[in-house]
């Protein structure tokens, strides 16, 4: 066997080994690099959620999940809206001035705490210890509620009460009003929860 044939055989073997090594490196590196990307589950957890409110009647509430939290969408009646200002003297933060950037976006810093008066959007988690308050929409005296109750929510864990704008009543364990999440209207019947600016 001549020296040239041996060199050619070695060269072929080295090229083949190098190619196999490169393929192996790529096959190993791709999953490793992809592991730094957020998973589909993680992307979904922070992704905005669409809600169709076309079937939501006055006085009704629907719940959607966003970032693992319940988000309430309530279509308030004219009577419920009219009663909101009557609660002001009894509320801890009637104008939602405390922790505005955390709990109340600019477009919800009004008497209704919403973009459109009749549609309320709130994160359904008490600002005290994270329980989910129960609906108490029916006005009038009820157990654990004041005699002049105008509707809202009662937290079953420690008794905090919130009106139909998600504002907490005075002398309750919850320190703040319920959170208004980022949201926007895509149409009259569709909301996008979790995003409030057009991409």
Residues forming the active site: 158
Determine the distance from the C-alpha atom of residue 152 to the mean position of all C-alpha atoms in its chain, rounded to a whole number.
Answer: 20
Both structure tokens of 64: 């959607």
**Pairwise CA distance, residues 119 & 189, whole Å:** 11
Both structure tokens of 15: 């090229």
User: Could you tell me which of 90, 176, 60 has the C-alpha nearest to residue 125?
Assistant: 176
**Pairwise CA distance, residues 150 & 49, whole Å:** 31
**Pairwise CA distance, residues 138 & 179, whole Å:** 22
User: Could you tell me which of 159, 71, 87 has the C-alpha nearest to residue 119?
Assistant: 71
Beta strand residue intervals within the chain, DSSP E: 49-52, 61-66, 69-75, 119-123, 134-136, 152-154, 161-163, 183-185, 190-193
């Amino acid at each position: 066997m001549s020296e040239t044939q041996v060199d050619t055989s070695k060269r072929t073997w080295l090229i083949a080994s190098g190619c196999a090594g490169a393929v192996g490196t790529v096959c190993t590196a791709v999953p490793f690099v992809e592991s730094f990307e957020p998973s589909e589950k993680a992307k979904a957890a922070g992704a905005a959620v669409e809600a169709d409110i076309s079937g939501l009647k006055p006085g009704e509430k629907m719940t959607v999940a966003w970032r693992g939290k319940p988000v309430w969408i309530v279509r308030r009646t004219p009577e419920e809206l009219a009663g909101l200002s009557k609660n002001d003297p009894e509320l801890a933060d009637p104008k939602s001035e405390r922790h505005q950037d955390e709990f109340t976006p600019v477009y919800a810093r009004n008497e209704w705490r919403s973009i459109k008066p009749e549609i309320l959007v709130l994160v359904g988690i008490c600002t005290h210890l994270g329980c989910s308050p129960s609906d108490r929409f029916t006005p009038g005296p009820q157990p654990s509620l004041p005699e002049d109750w105008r509707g809202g929510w009662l937290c079953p864990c420690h008794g905090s009460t919130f009106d139909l704008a998600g504002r907490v009543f005075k002398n309750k364990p919850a320190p703040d009003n319920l959170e208004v999440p980022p949201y926007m209207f895509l149409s009259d019947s569709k909301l996008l929860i979790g995003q409030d600016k057009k991409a």
